[in-house]
Chain A
Amino acid sequence: MAQGLLRFITAGSVDDGKSTLIGRLLYDSKTIFEDQLESIEQASTQRGTDGADLSLLTDGLRAEREQGITIDVAYRYFATPQRKFIIADAPGHIQYTRNMVTGASTADLAIILVDARAGLLEQTHRHSFITHLLGIKHMVVCVNKMDLVDWSQERYDEIVDAFRSFSSRLDIPDIKFIPISALQGDNVVDRSEHMAWYDGPTLLHHLEHVHVAADRNLQDCRFPVQYVIRPQTDADRDFRGYAGRVAGGVFKVGDKVVALPSGLSSTVTSIAVGDKQVEKAFPPQSVVMTLANDIDLSRGDMLVRENNQPDSMQDLDARICWLSEQPMRPGTRFELRHTSREAKAVVKEVVYKLDINTLHRIEDDIEIVMNDIARIRIRTASPLLVDDYRRNRTTGSFILVDPGTRLTVAAGVIYS
């Protein structure tokens, strides 16, 4: 398998056909099983739908099937000889935006569906903006339901132009446009016979070949210590290993490293995956490193290289997406989670909220409500070791946890 794994999310407004598109991808790539098809055919007949309703494949909750909507992200898996895929099928309703954010935070690519009849809607803008905010570098805009606009190139071009004018203000380097009919299968897996004017790839062909490995940061060495391994058994009484997932750069045995925040130096003496010794470690590997000397190093600390260090900051300039039904105003206190570290935090200032349709800044309203996207300033009780999110998705992101309810209330990215 030449390309490894591709994680992507399908987003867009309600009824733009996300679940149907995924059903179509699974069906045409022959990854639907007989008993699954039997079960949805039975359910479709019961509900009086013409043909098998492919959206029933992903709408797995009772409440979703009752209402014919998607409430939470469903994950689906399929493979072609070229690649393995993990799909996050995100809900379109504004009320469930936080579930869309959940799905998008781990995606390499976003498919934004647009209904060819309706054109761009508020949720199209919101989801595109969240894609940009979360630093997803690859986007495919699928203009869906082309069968319902007589396969019109004119209509397609109109939507493409409108989207381009909106997305010119977003930082998404790779955007592709594809006209499709998820219901009938045009340009999803097989080429459409109705749109000779389109000469680009089908959706599946594009997904199989898009190159995402280069998005990983191999320059800046970052190893947040997750867990210290001390066996306390007779055989390994003196063993002290630092377990974690490489967040950036390449660590090699023999490398000089600096532990932060202590600033103490040491040398990497071994790197292991399980009980197998390896020479180097890179993202997103989970490894255990040992060092030449015993230094003070525990969960929440970070190993880096001396000449390339993250910023140590207590005052953060962040963009957040607010995920809680409880509104927030400046002065509210939270627990902030960043890499393997936790810190008390207080919101000092709401700089602005964003009008999602126009991307205009709203500066005179400082109350943040659910699904708002805002720029805020936060102060933490102790310094965090951060990078700009655009350089590193792991060291540039955080969540806020409400100390009372213990719920995750915001997703944040740091621009430094």
Chain B
Amino acid sequence: MSDYNLSHLDELEAEGIYVLREVAAQFERPAILFSGGKDSICVTHLARKAFAPARIPMPLVHIDTGHNFPETMQFRDDLVKELGVQLIVGSVQDLIDRGEVTEESGFNASRNRIQTPTLINTIEQHQFDACCGGARRDEEKARAKERFFSHRDDFSQWDPKNQRPELWDLYNGQHQPGEHFRVFPLNNWTELDIWNYILRENIAIPSLYFAHEREVVRRNGQILAYSEYLNLRPDEKPETLQVRFRTLGDLTITGAVESDADTLEKIIGEVAAARKTERGGRMDDKRSQSAMEDRKKEGYF
């Protein structure tokens, strides 16, 4: 290898940093959507690198379903303090309390769908014109179609059949008042890239990603974390297993996998050998072939 070849991780990092700087340069009120999951942690890490030695020039926005893993909340608060950035929380519970959204009921009830109105509400309230997220094209087939600068109309809708052309790295962030962009600096990363990068950069992540003992419930081939928010069927009983999470979302929909991977190296070994996609454990995607596309059109992450 010559002196002027970049490893593929270096190339992906350079691309992500470039995208984040372009956001800071082109928009009035940008933000980073922070879920506490590994992908948004990586976006935040790239932002730290992009603007060093200055602070990240945009707030972190957390859409809080109220059904959180306590570990994620602690992690979020520690990180915000360390970075010295502003944290803005959009609360699903607040919208429910105000009667603006109605919660689902039943055994598979989740707050996944009503995150969308909460997110849109938060964007409107703070007049964000660009929201950077950790979504990756390799996650899901609708996400495979995403641009880096992805346009949303003034109802926050995505029009996948009529996306703006995006040439070279000349990103066009111009928009009409009320419209905004979702920006995806990690578009070209795979799950394995994320883990290898976390290892290389020594990035802190919530303990939930590592194997631990937990009370869980098996449902439709999934392993769900047992909590007060999960409605049990009569025949279901919590059991204790050694598990870890591949993605972190709302407590009620994020599936765990049985695993003894308690180090990053072991996780990377597992991910490299995995025969199922990481979102294979997400109940929210299983609802139909177009579950993600439909939610994204409405304004989902």
Give A contacts to B, CB under 8 Å: 1-2, 4-5, 33-36, 39, 43, 57-63, 65, 71-77, 79, 84, 86, 98-99, 101-102, 105-106, 213, 216, 218, 226-227, 229-233, 235-236, 239, 241, 243-245, 250, 272-275, 282, 284-286, 288, 299, 323, 335, 337-338, 340, 393-394, 397-399, 401, 406-408, 411
Q: Could you show 8 A-B contacts with beta carbons less than 8 Å apart?
A: A5-B12, A75-B188, A86-B188, A235-B53, A241-B53, A284-B15, A335-B174, A408-B164
Q: Which residues does chain A contribute within 8 Å of B11, judged by CB atoms?
A: 4-5, 284
In the complex, what distance in Å separates the CA atom of A297 from the CA atom of B50?
Answer: 19
> Which chain B residue has the least Cβ–Cβ distance from A276?
B49
In the complex, what distance in Å separates the CA atom of A245 from the CA atom of B291?
Answer: 37
> Which chain B residue has the least Cβ–Cβ distance from A324?
B165
Contact with A along B162-203 (1 / 0, CB 8 A): 011111111010111000000000011010100000000000
Say whether B293 contacts A61, CB under 8 Å.
Answer: yes
Q: Which of B28-36, B102-110, B227-235, B272-280 contacts A (4 or more CB under 8 A)?
A: B272-280
Say whether B172 contacts A399, CB under 8 Å.
Answer: yes
| B1-52 contacts to A (CB < 8 Å) | 1-2, 4-8, 10-15, 17-18, 21-22, 24-25, 48-52
Q: Which residues does chain A contribute within 8 Å of B164, judged by CB atoms?
A: 407-408
Q: Which of B91-99, B117-125, B136-144 contacts A (4 or more CB under 8 A)?
A: B136-144
Q: Which residues does chain B contribute within 8 Å of A71, judged by CB atoms?
A: 160-161
Cβ of B55 within 8 Å of any chain A Cβ, yes or no, is yes
In addition to A239-B54, A408-B167, 8 A-B residue pairs with Cβ atoms within 8 Å of each other are A76-B144, A79-B190, A244-B21, A274-B50, A275-B49, A282-B4, A284-B14, A288-B52
In the complex, what distance in Å separates the CA atom of A319 from the CA atom of B173?
Answer: 23
In the complex, what distance in Å separates the CA atom of A299 from the CA atom of B23?
Answer: 13
Question: Among A232, A244, A411, which residue has the most Cβ atoms of chain B within 10 A?
Answer: A411
Say whether A273 contacts B176, CB under 8 Å.
Answer: no
A77-B190, A233-B55, A282-B4 known; A398+B163 contact, CB < 8 A: no
Contact of B5 among A4, A43, A73 (CB under 8 A): A4
B: interface residue count bin? 35 or more
In the complex, what distance in Å separates the CA atom of A338 from the CA atom of B165?
Answer: 16
Contact of B8 among A35, A84, A250 (CB under 8 A): A84
Interchain nearest-CB distance for A59 vs B (Å): 8
Interchain nearest-CB distance for A151 vs B (Å): 33
A35-B277, A106-B168, A226-B18 known; A1+B54 contact, CB < 8 A: no
Q: Which residues does chain A contribute within 8 Å of B12, judged by CB atoms?
A: 5
Q: Which residues does chain B contribute within 8 Å of A232, judged by CB atoms?
A: 54
Question: Among A105, A227, A282, A393, which residue has the most Cβ atoms of chain B within 10 A?
Answer: A227
Q: Which residues does chain A contribute within 8 Å of B52, judged by CB atoms?
A: 229, 272, 274-275, 288
Cβ of B289 within 8 Å of any chain A Cβ, yes or no, is yes
Q: Which residues does chain B contribute within 8 Å of A86, judged by CB atoms?
A: 188
A33-B276, A35-B277 known; A74+B141 contact, CB < 8 A: yes
Interchain nearest-CB distance for A309 vs B (Å): 22
Cβ of B86 within 8 Å of any chain A Cβ, yes or no, is no
Say whether B4 contacts A213, CB under 8 Å.
Answer: yes
Say whether B161 contacts A105, CB under 8 Å.
Answer: no
